[in-house]
Structure 1
């Protein structure tokens, strides 16, 4: 995706991208939904496209560009986004098994979120982009 000067809300580490390539080879196109805390805390849950229903209350945070696979959209509920809107998210992977329904669980790994607050400059660019759309 070309850089537009607007910061991305979500990115992925090289290790997590490697696991996504494995999962896409086995399951086809994928999506993430940032869990709201029910079954597995607030973990990013990975699903094959069509296995998780995205609704009107979900928003698209962005798409992960990973070599050799289709872009992977990342969603979050609108109500949860109100709490996280000032935060940049990075999807990473660690050894261990989560307790949710995410498709990496059988691999002995789990996705997790690393976060940081947007800088004042990044926040201003995001606000400008939102008001322009």
Structure 2
């Protein structure tokens, strides 16, 4: 019987607690918490409140909160695609379109077209995008 291995997951609260306990027991001086332990603690904020994490791991609530907020800000700064190219070919008959787009001025266009003889969506999109030009 074959056993499937579990997908790699981030450590849970108890595992991170054990990592912190081991680090506290084995450190020689009052050294700062290593970055990999901070990263593990911050990753727990996806599943637990900052208050609970700070209490269980014996961390300063304010320091943990600053790191969590910094991580969230960093993630939100990662840009999404600014341009997506797609090809519309006429080799296959298309009987349904679902398109959504937004112009630079913030106006939005949503199209849901169904039927055997549909207009070319590029003509509609070109007219929409050029209306403000």
Same fold (TM over 0.5): no
More strand by share: 1
Measured against the shorter chain, the TM-score band is under 0.3
Q: TM-score, normalised by structure 2?
A: 0.20
Which has the greater radius of gyration? 2
Higher relative contact order (CA 8 A, sep 6+): 1
